[in-house]
Amino acid sequence: MSEAYTATIGGQQVLILKEGTSRSRGKEAQRSNIMAAKVIAETVKTSLGPMGMDKMLVAGFGDVTITNDGATILKEMDIQHPAAKMMAEVSKTTDSEVGDGTTSVVVLAGKFLEKAEGLLDQNIHSTIIVDGYKLATDKALEFLNEIAIPVKPENREMLRNVAMTTVSTKMISESKELMADIAIDAVLKVAQKTKEGYTVDVDDVKVEKKAGESMNETELIEGLILDKEVVHSGMPKRVQNARIALINSAIEIEKTEFTAKINIEKPEEMKAFLDEEERTLKGMVDKIAASGAKVLICQKGIDDLAQHYLAKRGVLAVRRVSESNMEKLAKATGGKISANLDDLTAQDLGYAKNVEERKIGDDKWVFIEGCKNPLAVSILIRGGTSKVVDEAERSIHDALCVIRDIVQRPYVVAGGGSVEMEVASRLKTWAEKLAGKEQLAAIGFAEALEVIPAALAENAGLDPVNVLVELRAQHGKGETWAGVYAEGGVRDSVKNMAKLGIYEPLVVKEQVIKSASEVASMILRIDDVIAAKSGGMGPPPRGPGGPEGFEAE
């Protein structure tokens, strides 16, 4: 038995941890955690920026995802190492908080840890490094706010700049103008004015996707889309000024739960039985028609015969709509979902200007446009293949989020690594005045920020050292927004990013710096890793022995 899970007390061996538990302590634990986190950072680094590459991820069942989104890459990678998992988590948090910067946060955290490693080598204790990082983070946030540019949320030009910067790093960058405009229109439609400004819930924008056509056919729909067709060919395919009944019970003859037996002896009895069924269905349709509804959206099934009667009455009907879509429809059209047809009245009906079935690829979908509630908007994404529309959906999500970020907190900074360079340069000057070894940590922190412009340069095929030297010189001369001009080639690699219109929301940069520093500090504070034996699911994780499940490049 190893000393990891036993102790000797008074000459007696005492079992403390279960057999199979692995443990590593002190420097060994720290180093392997840092190593694992750095591997993760290196993996996503090549996908940073407009010239970043995409990753193809193949899941256990063979599902393929092609993406450049940091959070998605790390989600799809089957990460085992606990410290590496923390990196994936911080990326996910960044995604849910601000929607963009999920690659930057991981790259930055990796660099913070690399710098810390150098300091650990100089025998500086990790608590001092963590303290220095904390001081530097607070100061960095202060500098960020100092240089941020206030904008008006209604300033469409600026919103466009920000949205285009975000989508220009993605596969959909060829249609960046269209995508930016769609994202802006969608967010401005769902934005709600409050006393303090605006609030936006990006979930109010429904995103539907269908492979086919080209990305340029992506459109904004002022209303909702149901991926269902009109149930009967005899029904109208389009109803204008539609009054809509929302029903969550089946328009069918109820089946009894137990087996019943009916004895039919004469043909007339059989006919009477069938007539009765017909009458019941007809009665149901009559009740719907009596309410004045011209469109029926049903959460359950609609009997064939009932479909026929509905068609005769000129009602457009859709069946088996999901509960969540029913709720969205109720909110959008102002209608009430009824369970009992007897209670259905004209007041329960929703309203939309236009309900129409359209052919989307091989399918027919029903569009409900011009709803009573103007907050209902959808984006219909089109694109060559299912992989393209999936990635387009993720990128549009990023665009919607950055627009929301600015509408809610109207401050921007310029991108292309310029903001990181400026904050780094100010931090270095400030850190020189710090007393104690925290000074070294703070300088390390400042230098780590330069990893963003360095990675942007490297991914654009430029020499990161040359670019950094030039950037430092420019920032030294007071060029706040000097950044990496990825498309410029070797001669023209440093330019004023603000002049080029490459802007990003302040909140994204704040979140990236804050979260990266937090996760790095958390990993640095760990000096003991005790990993339980995994319960019969294959070999136990080797704990801090190194990242498992993937290989470093």
Ligand X SMILES: Nc1ncnc2c1ncn2[C@@H]1O[C@H](COP(=O)(O)OP(=O)(O)OP(=O)(O)O)[C@@H](O)[C@H]1O
List, by residue number, the catalytic residues: 69, 102-103, 398
Residue 444 interacting partner from Mg ion, ligand X, none (CB closer than 5 to 8 Å by kind): none
Q: Which does 168 bind (CB under 5 to 8 A by kind): Mg ion, ligand X, none?
A: ligand X
β pairing state of 503-505 and 205-211: unpaired
Our finding on whether 52 is near ligand X (CB under 6 A) is yes
474 near ligand X, judged by CB under 6 A: no
Return the one option of Mg ion, ligand X, none that residue 69 interacts with (CB less than 5 to 8 A, by type): ligand X
- Residue 6 CA to residue 469 CA, distance in Å, equals 54
Q: Among 63-71, 238-246, 296-304, 402-410, which window interacts with ligand X (CB under 6 A)?
A: 63-71
HEC letters along 77-107: CCCCCHHHHHHHHHHHHHHHHCCCCHHHHHH
Q: Which does 504 bind (CB under 5 to 8 A by kind): ligand X, Mg ion, none?
A: ligand X
Based on the shown chain and the rule CB under 6 A, indicate whether residue 97 belongs to the binding site for ligand X: no
Picking from 228, 337, 349, the residue whose alpha carbon sits closest to that of residue 289 is 349
Q: How far is the CB of 508 from Mg ion (least distance, A)?
A: 8
Total residue length of the chain: 553
Burial of 127 (0-12, 13-18, 19+ CB in 10 A): exposed
* Partner touching 415 among ligand X, Mg ion, none, CB below 5 to 8 Å by kind: ligand X
Is 168 a binding residue for ligand X by CB under 6 A? The answer is yes
Q: How far is the CB of 396 from ligand X (least distance, A)?
A: 12
Nearer to ligand X, 30 or 474 (CB): 474
510 contacts which partner out of Mg ion, ligand X, none, CB within 5 to 8 A by kind?
none
- We find the least distance from the C-beta atom of residue 395 to ligand X, in angstroms, to be 8
Residue 464 interacts with which of Mg ion, ligand X, none, CB < 5 to 8 Å by class = none
What is the 3 state secondary structure string of 199-262?
A: ECCHHHEEEEEEEECCHHHCEEECEEEECCCCCCCCCCCEEEEEEEEEECCCECCCCCCCCCCC
Kindly report the CA angle at 167 between 166 and 173, in degrees rounded to 5?
Answer: 145
| Beta-bridge mates of residue 209 | 381
CA–CA dist 44, 25 (Å, integer): 28
Shortest-Cβ-distance residue relative to ligand X: 415
> What interhelical angle do 126-147 and 102-121 show, nearest 10?
140
Question: Contacts with Mg ion in 133-172 (CB under 5 A)?
Answer: 169
Partner that binds at residue 452, options ligand X, Mg ion, none, CB closer than 5 to 8 Å by kind: ligand X
- Sole binder of ligand X in the list 46, 70, 357, 442 (CB under 6 A): 70
Q: How many CB atoms lie within 10 A of CB 141?
A: 17
- Binding-site size, ligand X (CB under 6 A): 26
Residue 459 as a binder of ligand X (CB under 6 A): the answer is: no
Identify which of residues 22 and 67 has a Cβ nearer to Mg ion in the complex: 67
Supply the minimum distance, in Å, between the C-beta of residue 155 and ligand X: 19
Place of tokens 């430092």: 472
- 271: buried, middle or exposed (CB in 10 Å: 19+, 13-18, 0-12)? exposed
Listing DSSP states for 314-349 in one string gives T-EEE----HHHHHHHHHHH---EES-GGG--GGG-
Dist. CA 180–CA 340, nearest whole Å: 44
- Binding-site member from 76, 95, 97, 100 for Mg ion (CB under 5 A): 100
Residues of this chain, 169-198, that bind ligand X according to CB under 6 A: 169
> Would you say 208 and 225 are in contact if contact means Cβ atoms under 8 Å apart?
yes
Binding segment for ligand X (CB under 6 A), chosen from 153-161, 179-187, 207-215, 409-417, is 409-417
Phi and psi (nearest 5°) for 345?
-125, 175
Determine if 291 is a binding residue for ligand X (CB under 6 A).
Answer: no
Report whether 164 contacts 384 (CB < 8 A): no
Residue 479: CB minimum distance to ligand X, A: 15
Quick one: which segment of 19-27, 66-74, 151-159, 307-315 binds ligand X (CB under 6 A)? 66-74
Quick one: tokens of 518?
């937090």
If the CB atoms of residues 169 and 521 are measured against Mg ion, the closer one turns out to be 169
Q: Which residues bind Mg ion (CB under 5 A)?
A: 100, 169
Q: Which residues bind ligand X (CB under 6 A)?
A: 47-50, 52, 68-70, 100-104, 165, 168-169, 398, 415-417, 452, 456, 484, 486, 502, 504
